[in-house]
Structure 1
Amino acid sequence: MTGKPAAERRTGLLNGFAAYGMWGLVPLFWPLLKPAGAVEILAHRMVWSLVFVAAALAVVRRWAWIGELVRQPRRLALITVAAAVITVNWGVYIWSVNSGHVVEASLGYFINPLVTIAMGVLLLKERLRPAQWAAVGIGALAVVVLTVGYGRPPWISLCLAFSFATYGLVKKKVNLGGIESLAAETAIQFLPALGYLVWLGAQGESTFGAEGAGHALLLAATGIVTALPLVCFGAAAIRVPLSTLGLLQYLAPVFQFLLGILYFKEAMPPERWAGFALVWLALTLLTWDALRTARRAARALSGRRAGAGDTTVTPGAGGAVPATAPPSEAETAGAETEEALEAKP
């Protein structure tokens, strides 16, 4: 009886490592697309992502959601907002990697959970635990230190963090699966992206085909690079606890940071190390608080279930039904950062 759940958990962990590993190593891919500029790469990513996810949906014959979506103007409007915000996120990330700012880009995904929590307080009037307040405060101090270190605010990091936090907030309201959401978003992006590529070709400035078949195939592969990690993430999300995914999410910025330092040889003066150290301290505090809260809630829920075990009434016995346990604090805590797990740099 325990073999199948254990195997499912292993499969989920492998998919989680694969998803965040691919997102973490993607800075190695974008430079391969030069001499294409960031906007051209972004446009190809939009076009080929739709082609790839449409093919995937055709294989699994999952189309029913489209009819439901087109009959709901509010959800369509939110999908349009999500498409616009993720366009900014993708574009800034591609530009930052190909312009020698991999480390600063990684910082954006390190501080994203902190920004997500801050937006929850400001926009959703969520209440924070003391440890969460401390983590957000330390994160804000880190931004000040990094501003001194860079000689300017870390605009790339802030843009990536706030755009993705906004994207997560909107997607939470849309409530659509990962592949379906990507299909809807890229469908909205498709015509503007295709129009730009056609215009670029008419100007004689397109690199698609002009740099050889290999380069054209790499541009087309942007669809796979975008969608495949999302497929792996979806497989992980249904097999492992949210708390586990919450820990795995840090693999991506860690890999990006290490690539920036070790592979791309970006400079890291002492004041930047100090800023990053403060960010890591804030994330450590945030993770510790989330795990502690989840454990306490799990124990409390287990105790409630044990106490109610002798009084459970089966349906049909006098018309009574068993009481349903309210959402646990762990579930509530998990929902605060669930949208931050599906990072798609």
Structure 2
Amino acid sequence: MTDPRRDGLLFGTGAYVWWGLCPGFFLLLLPAGSLEILAHRIVWSAVFLLLVLAVARRLGDLRRLRWRTWLQLLAASALVSANWGVYIYAATHGHVVDAALGYFINPLISVLLGVLVFRERINRWQAAALLLAVGAVVLLSVSVGAPPYIAFALAVTFAFYGLVKKVVTADPRVGVAVETLLALPIAGGYLVALEVAGRGHFLSEGVGHTGLLLLAGPVTAIPLLLFAAAAQRLPMVTLGLLFYINPALQMAWGVLIGHEPMPVARWVGFALIWLALAVQAADAVRNRTPREKPAGKPESGSAARPPDPSPAQEANSG
């Protein structure tokens, strides 16, 4: 007899470790450019997810979606595509630490959106976490002479993605499939144009490289399916705490393997972010009800986020 919580921990840990190690995979796709990699990611994710729906006998669900849901998923598709594109650029241009920062501050951005959009009230612990995050961003901006644009782009696009997904009622597999299908015409057209112009890399770098580009679909979709399985079995607090495996691994990759610069001011900024997240996590655990149930089926996305008072659970990462 299986233990749902144990299985959930395995699925959740697998998803977040997978996302955390994604920078290594995207480096293997060079010399293809960021937009070309993004297009392949969209195209082959759509193909893979259609196969998943076919095996699960859920293709009929696509016809049963309401127009309102299609429009919501169109907005989600645009946001997650932008998030994926920025992340691929960061992974292939030596900005993995910036990407990690984006996913570290994403839960705090989501709390802020909850306040601004849904008029949700925050307690003093959440307010303290937000102030610490603001201080960290100011410090990081001053230390490098510019705001952390990549981190902001990742955090904001994913937070708004969660905002849209909060109102979507669709099976996770169906939702992600629709998001990739809606982006498929643009992505496919871009790849065809590249190949016609002789600037594509799908067939020019050898069989191994072509195979890796094809794998961009499963590499994107499998952790989403693992996350969906974990969300059905784990409480939101547990799922949220597991989330930090993802940016922690990304940061480790950027510092230890990518040898990205980490001056003292940057370490201090990250320390403030970690303190803010610790305050938020402690508040979430403190307010957890004894009979808290598993998160249920989350809406789908590039990656998942920890629980917060605003957007629905769903992820990016990477």
> Structure 2 CA distance, aligned partners of 1:282 and 1:9?
28
**Corresponding residue number in structure 1 for 2:48:** 52
Q: How far did residue 339 of structure 1 move?
A: 2.9
Normalised to the residue count of structure 2, the TM-score between the two structures is 0.93
User: 1:181-214, CA deviations, whole angstroms, 9 ceiling, x for partnerless residues?
Assistant: 1100011010111101110011000100100110
1:192 matched to 2:156:
no
> Structure 2 CA distance, aligned partners of 1:18 and 1:170?
26
Which amino acid in the other structure matches residue 336 of structure 1?
P
Q: How far did residue 341 of structure 1 move?
A: 4.8
Pick from 37, 44, 49 the counterpart of residue 41 of structure 1: 37
CA contact (8 A) 1:165 1:340 kept: no
CA contact (8 A) 2:140 2:266 kept: yes
User: 1:53-89, CA deviations, whole angstroms, 9 ceiling, x for partnerless residues?
Assistant: 00111111112321221xx222211111111111110
- Residue ranges of structure 1 left out of the alignment (5+ in a row): 302-332
- Residue ranges of structure 2 left out of the alignment (5+ in a row): 293-305
CA contact (8 A) 1:49 1:222 kept: yes
What percent identity do the matched residue pairs reach?
46
> Structure 1 CA distance, aligned partners of 2:38 and 2:175?
18
Aligned length: 305
The 3-state SS of whatever aligns with 1:13 is helix
**Corresponding residue number in structure 2 for 1:98:** 92
Write the mapping of 1:131-170 to structure 2, written as runs, cut at 5 A.
131-170=125-164
**Corresponding residue number in structure 2 for 1:210:** 204
The 3-state SS of whatever aligns with 1:289 is helix
1:13 matched to 2:1:
no
Q: How far did residue 178 of structure 1 move?
A: 2.3
Of the two, which has the highest radius of gyration?
Answer: 1
Which amino acid in the other structure matches residue 207 of structure 2?
A
Q: How far did residue 235 of structure 1 move?
A: 1.2
The 3-state SS of whatever aligns with 1:174 is coil
CA contact (8 A) 2:239 2:307 kept: no
Pick from 293, 309, 314 the counterpart of residue 336 of structure 1: 309
Which amino acid in the other structure matches residue 205 of structure 2?
E
User: 1:92-133, CA deviations, whole angstroms, 9 ceiling, x for partnerless residues?
Assistant: 110011110000110000000000000111111111111011
Write the mapping of 1:123-134 to structure 2, written as runs, cut at 5 A.
123-134=117-128
Deviates more, 1:261-270 or 1:174-183: 174-183
1:293 matched to 2:266:
no
> Structure 2 CA distance, aligned partners of 1:197 and 1:257?
31
The 3-state SS of whatever aligns with 2:42 is helix
CA contact (8 A) 1:48 1:221 kept: yes
Pick from 17, 23, 30 the counterpart of residue 26 of structure 2: 30
Which structure shows the bigger proportion of residues in helix conformation? Answer: 1
Which amino acid in the other structure matches residue 259 of structure 1?
W
1:278 matched to 2:272:
yes
Q: How far did residue 337 of structure 1 move?
A: 5.5
Q: How far did residue 242 of structure 1 move?
A: 1.1
**Corresponding residue number in structure 2 for 1:112:** 106
Which amino acid in the other structure matches residue 187 of structure 1?
L
The 3-state SS of whatever aligns with 2:201 is coil
> Structure 2 CA distance, aligned partners of 1:238 and 1:178?
11
